[in-house]
Amino acid sequence: MVTPTTNPATSSPAEAGVLDAVIIGAGFAGMYQLHTLRDRLGLSVQVIEAADGVGGTWYWNRYPGARCDSESHSYCYAFSEDLIKDWEWSERYPEQPEIIRYLNFVADRLDLKRSIRFQTRVTGAAYDETANLWRVTTDDGARISARYLIAAVGCLSTANVPQFPGLDTFEGDWYHTGLWPHEGVDFSGKRVIQIGTGSTGIQAAPVIARTAGHLTVMQRTPNYSVPARNTPLSAEFRQWVKDNFADIKRTMRGNTNGHAFTIQDRSAFDVSDEERLAIYEAAWEKGGLQFRASFRDILTSKEANDTAAEFLKQKIREIVKDPETAARLADIDHPYAAKRPPIDTDYFDTFNRDNVDLVDVRADPIEAITPTGVRLRSGVEHAADIIVFATGFDAMTGSLLRLGITGRDGLSLSKAWEAGPRNYLGLQVAGFPNMFTVTGPGSPSVLCNMPVAIEQHVEWIADCIAYMRERGIEHIEARDDAADGWVEQVNEAARATLLPEAHHSWYLGANVPGKPRVFMPYAGGMARYREICDEVAAEGYEGFSLT
Ligand code: NA7
């Protein structure tokens, strides 16, 4: 819980015009951080947001079929019963426009927008050691000083557009899914090439195929996918959620993944082959991310994982009619869920359409974009009017590094993280006092249902700031040894799972050429992570130096 302070004026800095906190980003994280600091602690806070509205990653990801993979009743703020009571989700998984409507509803209800400076991008943030202040500059020339800097820039918000030679010569139109035009894209009758078959590409392809003249899907790494089984929510279900939200919240906060379902406490080998198959069939029919919760050892035992992987590959072979296409789609080289597991609506079935082709760009990589399409290494050229880059993000570190942050002694964050991200609890970087990152590398974030991870971080940060203010502490900084220890814990947690076995995963930074290969998220589970953070706070912020 965040403790409100009654007299925020007592710790106002001496320099005029100085704010208590600057928050970068107005997505789920920045909005709630603003509410905790401004409305619960009574601090002066400015949020800086590049977009002209709230939403963060959901503001930009407007591609066809954009929908959250978490179920709507768990993909929302849980801190306020009023917000739960007064909002109605329409479908099992919230679609992008509905998430934006929801976040606007929250922003209006909590009167957040007056503290958000929209259409403004942070160009630099430097720690001024003499004044113990963060000096933040923006692209509209503003200079803002604040005691605390909170980067709530999201994990998946810096688009990764591969640097294929010739892109600037392409005579058609091209788009990255994470920077989609607000007015939408008309695919009617067009020859479309989609590059990428991650969660995004798997959502987009079926929708693009419906109107495109022809769709060529370029696949580098084949991927598993489980049907989402999206459906409108009944009035009964919505009422059930409202009546039982306390229990739902307990489940979400008590388990490893932050979802409203629990991982079954049985091994894949506690049951007979027939029973296992029946369990997978039932999970396939139910649909969604719950599939990986069928057995507790799916992500820790290769043998257990193989049973799930084989079941899912067999489904692909059954759905896709052309055996060659089916074989290419099912030729998956990593354990199930070792990369972020997509869920879909008619993805594999899309390859049964006459206007859809699959091209294996692992066997024959993309060499260049030409004025009229995409040329592969073999010399084969695929013509296109539109190219869709569903090529993901410079995940977890990209958005932080491009802020131009420098800490003590002019140390830049890029320098500090040259060999990969290194921080304490995913919350603070040694050498960058009074700066916090929400769901940064080293946190469970992307391995968890995001709003649950975000609420934990935001509340921990607000509690920490309240603690400091109550005691007149002006400076908090992660200790070097604590950061080293945490990096080791993050590695150890990853090693205890099959996650590092997907060598091409963005969890490892492998999707961005030149990015250090470090397993970034904390894989020890949200519940364990919450305990660790609580223990650190209870011990007077052990591992941080407070002065
Ligand atoms: P992902 O999961 O990073 O997927 C990107 C896809 O694009 C993936 O299939 C990549 O293949 C492919 N890709 C990336 N670069 C290239 C190049 N140069 N050539 C060919 N193919 C390429 O991003 P998403 O947007 O789908 O999902 C990100 C997260 O958003 C998702 O996990 C959810 O948490 C929400 P690769 O696998 O790297 O071989």
pLDDT at 145 over 70: yes
C-beta 504 within 6 A of ligand 1: yes
327 and 495 in contact (C-beta within 8 Å)? Answer: no
The enclosing H or E element of 84 equals: helix 81-86
DSSP, collapsed to helix, strand or coil, labels residue 373 as strand
Rounded Cα distance, 369 and 173, in Å: 12
Which two three-digit tokens encode residue 144? Answer: 């803002």
- Summarised one tens digit per residue, pLDDT across range 343-356 is 999 999 999 999 99
Average pLDDT, the chain: 96
How far apart are alpha carbons 340 and 289 in whole angstroms? 10
Mean pLDDT for 397-425 is 97
Q: How many whole angstroms from its chain centre is CA 253?
A: 18
Closest CA relative to residue 365, chosen from 195, 116, 541, 495: 195
How far does residue 139's CA lie from ligand 1's centre (Å)? 30
Q: What local confidence, expressed as pLDDT, does residue 1 receive?
A: 42
- Quick check: 65 and 207 in contact, CB under 8 A? yes
What pLDDT, on a 0 to 100 scale, did the predictor assign at position 14? 59
Specify burial of residue 282 (Cβ count, 10 A radius: 0-12, 13-18, 19+): exposed
Q: Are strands 343-344 and 226-227 parallel, antiparallel or unpaired?
A: parallel
Residue 23: name the closest of 6, 42, 47 by CA. Answer: 47
Say if ligand 1 is within 6 A of residue 195 CB.
Answer: yes
Q: Give the residue whose CA is nearest to atom 25 of ligand 1.
A: 392
The average pLDDT across 285-302 equals: 97
CA distance to 53, 193, 306, 404, 464, per residue, from 461 (Å): 24, 44, 40, 22, 5
Element (H, E) at 57: helix 57-60
Token match 């920490």: residue? 464
pLDDT at residue 415, rounded to an integer: 97
Instruction: For residue range 237-252, list pLDDT tens digits in order.
Output: 999 999 999 999 999 9
Both tokens of 77, joined, read 């703020």
Read off the pLDDT band of 207 (50, 70, 90). very high
- pLDDT at 16 (0 to 100): 77
Question: Can you give 417-479 as a three-state secondary structure string?
Answer: CCCCCCCECCCECCCCCCEEECCCCCCCHHHCCHHHHHHHHHHHHHHHHHHHHHCCCCCEEEC
Distance from residue 18's CA to the centre of ligand 1 (Å): 41
Is residue 404 predicted with pLDDT exceeding 90?
yes
Q: By C-alpha distance, which of 303, 296, 307 is closest to 266?
A: 296
pLDDT at 6 over 60: no
C-alpha span between 344 and 225 (Å, rounded): 6
Band (pLDDT 50/70/90 cuts) for residue 504 is confident
N-to-C CA span, the chain: 24
Alpha carbon distance 6, 43 (integer Å): 10
Ligand 1 contact, 102 CB (< 6 A): no
What is d(CA 315, CA 356) in angstroms, rounded to the nearest whole number?
19
- Do 463 and 3 touch, CB atoms closer than 8 A? yes
DSSP assignment string, 138-187: ETTS-EEEEEEEEE---SS-SB-----TTGGG--SEEEEGGG--TT----
Q: How far apart are CA 81 and CA 84, in angstroms?
A: 5
Residue 201 CA to ligand 1 center (angstroms) comes to 8
Residue 221 CB less than 6 A away from ligand 1:
yes
Please tell me the residue having the least CA distance from ligand 1 atom 10: 196
66 Cα to the center of ligand 1, angstroms: 15
Asked if the model's pLDDT at residue 13 lies above 90, the reply is no
Q: In this model, does residue 294 exceed pLDDT 70?
A: yes
Q: Report, in angstroms and rounded to the nearest whole number, the Rg of the chain calculated over CA atoms.
A: 23
Q: What is the pLDDT of residues 235-291, one digit of tens each?
A: 999 999 999 999 999 999 999 999 999 999 999 999 999 999 999 999 999 999 999
For tokens 């918000």, name the residue: 157
pLDDT, average across residues 316-336: 98
Model confidence pLDDT, tens digit, residues 21-70: 999 999 999 999 999 999 999 999 999 999 999 999 999 999 999 999 99
- In the chain, where the domains are located: 19-157+395-474, 226-389
User: For residue 204, how far is its CA from the centre of ligand 1 (angstroms)?
Assistant: 12
Does the CB atom of residue 249 touch ligand 1 within 6 A?
A: no
Q: Which atom of ligand 1 is nearest to the CA of 178?
A: 25
pLDDT band at residue 15 under the 50/70/90 scheme: confident
Q: What is the distance in A from the centroid of ligand 1 to the CA of 168?
A: 21
DSSP per-residue codes, 10-53: GG--SSTT-EEEEEE--SHHHHHHHIIIIIIS---EEEE-SSSS
Specify the 3-state DSSP secondary structure of 414.
Answer: helix
What's the whole-model pTM score? 0.96
The H or E element that residue 108 is part of is: helix 96-109
Please state, in angstroms and rounded to a whole number, the distance separating the CA atoms of residues 384 and 470. 62
The pair of three-digit structure tokens given for residue 444, joined into one six-digit string: 């469970």
Residue 5: predicted pLDDT = 36
Query: In 10 A of CB 15, how many CB atoms?
Result: 10
User: How far away, in angstroms, is 389 Cα from ligand 1 center?
Assistant: 9
Q: What is the mean pLDDT of residues 308-334?
A: 98
Q: What are phi and psi of 451, to 5 degrees?
A: -60, -30
In testing the pocket of ligand 1, which one of 199, 333, 387, 505 has its CB within 8 Å of the most ligand atoms? 199
**Distance from Cα 492 to the centre of ligand 1, integer Å:** 25
Residues 292, 279: contact at Cβ < 8 Å?
no
pLDDT band (50, 70, 90) for residue 462: very high
Ligand 1 pocket member 507 (CB < 6 A):
no
Q: Which CATH superfamily is domain 19-157+395-474 in?
A: FAD/NAD(P)-binding domain (3.50.50.60)
* Residue 71, phi then psi, degrees to nearest 5: -75, 145
pLDDT tens column, 212-230: 999 999 999 999 999 999 9
Please give the C-alpha separations between residue 187 and each of 66, 181, 193, 391, in angstroms, as whole numbers: 16, 13, 11, 19
